[in-house]
A and B are shown apart, each in its own frame.
Chain A
Amino acid sequence: MAALVVAEHDNRALKPATLNALAAAKEIAGQEVDVLVAGKDCHAVAEAASAVAGVRKVLLADDAAYGHGLAENVAPLLVKIASGYSHLLAPATTSGKNLMPRVAALLDVMQISDISAVVSPDTFVRPIYAGNALQTVQSKDPIKVITVRGTAFPPGEATGGSAPIETVEATGSTGLSEFVRAELSKSERPELTSARVIISGGRGMQSGDNFHLLEKVADKLGAAVGASRAAVDAGFVPNDYQVGQTGKIVAPELYIAVGISGAIQHLAGMKDSKVIVAINKDEEAPIFQIADYGLVGDLFKILPELEAELERRQ
């Protein structure tokens, strides 16, 4: 039994979500966990992966066809090397979700999506219905293709290893798709999926401009800023802020929900947070039912007060 983890990266740095997927892979396959780095001019990523504790070896496929992670090009590569593995895993990020079902179909196996626990090498737990139920499934397929819910598997050490890097031959481009451009949000703040503290705004924020009230509190806490679907749909903030069933799944130490009523689709993305704070003027808002600390009131008064109080007690 051996597992292969598809590294999440941008050709320069290994993304933290890879470490969560590696943690799941180790629960399945112990010492026999390899990492695939497919990209363009991505040797630095392979080196970072080789330094991760507990990696057996790193497979490096460096080719222009993989530069933007197009599923049409990367899937055949995975299919080619799949025969050496019992398990193929990737983080349940947008790139993992895009790639892995394509690989599974080419191998004629079902994917096991978004696992939150490993019961045994063929049995896994996964959330369904926006996390309102947990399903335990056993795979009958010879190769298990899996995406991993990062928040369910604490990341291992990023250093301490020195796995050999092996080059694998590229499978080339299928010519089916090509990358045109990316508009990625730039932020000095931590990434949502790996932040220790998150403060999110909802429809109650009333405008995108008002998000600066959240940002000021975020700066005091070293927090990432998120949003509910309602706030993204209303155009207050870009889509990559969205926390929820179909957005990002987060589980920080502290999650502060501001002006968010608490639709089940939003709760699905954050209810595994260690401590939840809710600030809302409607004391009947469902968010209060799951909040460890609820504060009823006008967020436009509370946020500046909160900023000042954090400043005072720092």
Chain B
Amino acid sequence: MKALVAVKRVIDYNVKIRVKADKTGVETANVKMSMNPFDEIAVEEALRLREAGTVSEIIVVSLGVAQCQETIRTALAMGADRGVLVETNAELQPLAVAKLLKAVILQENPEIVIIGKQAIDDDCNQTGQMLSALLGWPQATFASKLKISDGHAEVTREVDGGLETIAIKLPAVITTDLRLNEPRYASLPNIMRAKKKPIVTTTPDALGVDVTPRLVVLKVEEPPKRQGGHKVGSVAELVDKLKTEARVI
């Protein structure tokens, strides 16, 4: 069966972000961009399914500006087979992303769709759930273990109280949590090989999807700064301060 993985280009998780002075957003010029870490886990899971013989082909989709092609190349270098870029300079919100992915999925007919549970830029945690709703498919979010057999998937999910296992019918959408796997690094030969793998480019218009944002961002600000940095010299002093100064114990 085919697997489809969606990958988002985000500011690298190691970068300390800066809010723009005019409060319109976050500075992205000359900032290192990478694949959303949860999407790397999604790519890795698809690769493992292919290595296990469950999946025959892995299609990687990214949506956004032309440079998202680099993010697709990263996934191809990890081992995915081919890419689809939905290119647009428009701001894409999760509902629009879900609609675009649905349109690609109806063309590609994958039986399993794996994506990160959230992007570390907008922290929305929506796209996978929205996509499965639009397709009328089941969803297994926050997956830490995935077992596929016979048209079904058994998925263990990280929930607030511990772990929960559900069984879902395929086709389905899986969203990845941190403990699902540890993504591999692309080897140099694979990076070279990835340059020859095909990437097809399409657009929201060609897919017939209206991507007009539903949420208008009025402003982006820095959170209030915490005044920290005080040190104490001993355990006795710490307990003393907590009792008499902070009054929290």
Binding site for B on A (CB under 8 A): 68, 70-72, 75, 93-95, 97-106, 108-114, 123, 127-141, 175-185, 193, 197, 221, 229, 232-233, 238-240, 245-246, 248, 253-254, 264-265, 271, 274-277, 283, 288-296, 302, 305-306, 309-310, 313
Contact = CB atoms under 8 A, between A and B. Distances in A.
11 contacts: A94-B158, A113-B125, A128-B26, A132-B222, A133-B221, A133-B222, A134-B222, A176-B168, A185-B162, A240-B160, A276-B228
Contacts of B127: 101
Contacts of B163: 182-184, 238-239
A66 to B, nearest CB: 14
B231 A295 contact: yes
Given A97-B141, A129-B121, A265-B13, A111 B166 contact: no
Contacts of B21: none
Nearest to A276: B228
- Considering the complex of A and B, which 9 residue pairs feature the smallest CB-CB distances, nearest first? A101-B129, A105-B130, A176-B138, A105-B133, A110-B214, A101-B126, A184-B162, A290-B228, A184-B161
Contacts, number: 259
A128 B178 contact: no
B232 interface: yes
Question: Secondary structure of the B side of the interface?
Answer: mixed
A177 B123 contact: no
Given A128-B121, A138-B218, A277 B242 contact: yes
Contacts of B157: 94
Contacts of B144: 239
B166 A136 contact: no
How many residues of B sit at the interface, in one of the four size bands?
35 or more
Interface in B140-165: 140-142, 144, 154, 157-165
Given A137-B218, A180-B154, A293-B232, A105 B98 contact: yes
B134 interface: yes
A14 to B, nearest CB: 15
Given A288-B231, A291-B230, A293-B230, A123 B214 contact: no
Given A136-B219, A177-B166, A294 B178 contact: no
A132 to B, nearest CB: 5
A101 B235 contact: no
Interface string B204-237: 0000000001111111111100101111101110
Contact of B120 (A68, A93, A129, A253): A129
Given A105-B95, A106-B133, 8 more contacts: A98-B142, A105-B133, A114-B123, A134-B222, A178-B166, A240-B160, A275-B248, A291-B228
Contacts of B177: 239, 246
B155 to A, nearest CB: 9
Nearest to B222: A133
Contacts of A114: 123, 125
Contact of B123 (A128, A179, A182): A128
A94 B246 contact: no
A141 B214 contact: yes
A97 B215 contact: no
B179 interface: yes
Given A113-B124, A176-B169, A177-B138, A271 B158 contact: no
Contact of A288 (B137, B168, B217, B229): B229
A101 B235 CA distance: 47
A52 B100 CA distance: 42
B123 A129 contact: yes
A143 to B, nearest CB: 11
